[in-house]
A and B are shown apart, each in its own frame.
Chain A
Amino acid sequence: MAGKPSSGPTTYSPLLTGQKVKRPILTDSDWVRPDGRNHHQCRPAFVRTGAVTSASGSAYAEFGNTKVIVSVFGPRESKKAVMYSDKGRLNCNVSYTNFGTPSRAQSPDTKDLSSMLHKALEGAIILESFPKTTVDVFALVLESGGSDLPVVTTCASLALADAGIMMYDIVASVSVSCLRKSLLIDPLSEEESCQDGSLMITSMPSRNEVTQMTITGEWSTPKIHEAMQLCLDACSKLEKIMRSCLKEAASV
């Protein structure tokens, strides 16, 4: 589906005339978010399970312009080369569609994202429940509108719940961008491109545990505390949305 950027003849993506996106001149005044949200307001979330009928479990998530579909296959037979182990294996793969990012040059490092998704999910799944077999998680980002990895992680956890894989809790993930003095939750791609630092938390809200925390860029300690608190609150709200989606799917 997502072709490798380096293969085949080079192509040119069309220039979007009329939408000259200049790098915004950062003044000391507060940043106004392009979609009119508050700094501490997340995008409205749309999640649905059961998008892919041929997979064991699947989910579709749409957070503003970020659209992700995740399918889960398994537990199924491992490759023969792998020795017997009493824990199951988790295999994650994140890929972008050709049309997912505005220009080819911005296509992100999917190997990096895949291993981060793996680390986020392996803390939540009970691997001992499917020994010797593998669960495959395939995430496809249909459109990248900012804050991709948190949306992928959230969607993947819904897909795993849909597939009936035993987990300690569903994981919800939110990221915060630090831009000058303001903290913006659930950033868009424009905000991410000019951020000073980012903090992403993947947590299991009902258990009050964190499976993954990623911090990049410049941060001061009080800012980190504030950002973490924001993220955890947003995660618990996101968890309610996810639970209602799963309950709805179960009652159909």
Chain B
Amino acid sequence: MRHLQLSLNKGQKLRLERALEQLESLSSKANSDASVTVADDIPVNYEDAILKGHGTAEMDGRVVATLCGVVERVNKLVYVRSLRARYKPEIGDIIIGRVLEVAPKRWRLEINFSQDAVLMLSSMNLPDGIQRRRTAVDELNMRSIFEENDVICAEVRGFQHDGALHLQARSQKYGKLKTGQLLTIPPYLVKKRKQHFHYLDQYGIDLILGCNGFIWVGEHVEVKDDMVEDVLEKSPEPQNAKPCNTPVDKPLEETRTPLATRQNICRAANAIRVLSTLGFTITVEIIMEIVDLSISSSVDIHEMLGAEFYVVVAENEAAQRSSSSRKRKAHLVHHPAPRSWINARTTYMRRS
């Protein structure tokens, strides 16, 4: 494994190899014979009318690859998926990004993609919550909403003509993220699901799985819809210092996060690091499992990044899958080479 830079002693290496072999044998597709390097011929039945997709080119009547990767076939479409797959954005994806600069009427965010994403001022709720046209004063006060190096959660609204992303953060659940850790993992380990915001109530932490490979683990924040609050709650203190996801600039009391929450945040973050190094798909269930495993075997937080815990996680996962595969088909697949999570046709259409 190229990213595993741990020193494993002999026993641990053996156990890890055995666990990985077991996982390989359980994974559904054997892909090794379909791997191809640049300018390799792609075995194709030339009589069929095939569509040459992403990563292929035509040369002298043959179909050759322009990327190093794995050949995938979907009906008539033949394409090459590269191993270090970059993030492929789609409209509606939940994304986490870091502000790089504050530009006229927009913020530029870095999102682990080939180009920076743009969040327009008009796609952002104003602090006072009123829906109105953005004036010059609003533009001058942009910095009070988001500054450079802030971590922001947003949704993909669309694409610009040159391929850069347009984001929007109009709901209360989007916005600036505070008190937590931002983790970077390979984007193909995060699958598109219905829910990307998770609240682990037994630990009191929020987990946001960004589709671009950025994961946020942080202190739990109550998401309140301002409009509803005015109607329902006739609270005598409408401006109390509740931590909110809205970019409120009111001076909040400096409430210290309790130590237990912070430890849980670190534990969850380390669990994600271990899982991503081993190449497992990141889902809430598996993160909770690993955190529970680490607590039950009383592994210290810093020991979670040690060699022994890696091996334990791999073995645990191998044992789990082999037992569950007997009952049903394992739907969590191990990734020796990353799989495409997107409908291949959409990829092809966009790329052409």
Contact = CB atoms under 8 A, between A and B. Distances in A.
Contact of A50 (B2, B39, B115, B116): B2
Nearest to B110: A77
Given A57-B84, A250-B83, A251-B32, A130 B2 contact: no
A131 B68 contact: no
B86 interface: yes
Interface residues of A, number: 34
Interface string B17-51: 00000000000000010010111100000000000
Given A132-B163, A250-B68, A251-B32, A164 B82 contact: yes
Contacts of B3: 53
A164 B37 contact: no
Interface string A62-75: 00000000000011
A166 interface: yes
A167 B40 CA distance: 11
A167 B115 contact: no
A74 B67 contact: no
B116 to A, nearest CB: 5
Contact of A250 (B1, B39, B69): B69
Given A207-B39, A247-B35, A131 B1 contact: no
A207 B66 CA distance: 12
Interface of B is mostly: loop
Which size bracket describes the interface of B in this complex?
20 to 34
B276 to A, nearest CB: 13
Contacts of A252: 1-2
Contacts of A131: 162-163
Interface string B110-122: 0000111000000
B67 A164 contact: yes
A84 interface: yes
Contact of A164 (B57, B83, B162): B83
Contacts of A206: 39, 64
A61 B69 CA distance: 21
Contacts of A53: 2-3, 5
A96 B126 CA distance: 52
B213 interface: no
20 contacts: A57-B84, A76-B115, A126-B66, A132-B163, A161-B67, A162-B68, A167-B67, A169-B38, A170-B37, A204-B39, A246-B37, A246-B38, A247-B35, A247-B37, A250-B35, A250-B37, A250-B83, A250-B337, A251-B32, A251-B35
Given A164-B83, A207-B39, 5 more contacts: A57-B84, A164-B82, A166-B55, A167-B67, A168-B66
Interface of B: 1-3, 5, 32, 35, 37-40, 55, 57, 59, 64, 66-70, 82-86, 114-116, 162-164, 337
Interface of A: 50, 53, 56-57, 74-77, 84, 126, 129-133, 161-164, 166-170, 204, 206-207, 243, 246-247, 249-252
User: Nearest 5 pairs between A and B by C-beta?
Assistant: A164-B82, A169-B39, A206-B39, A75-B114, A166-B66
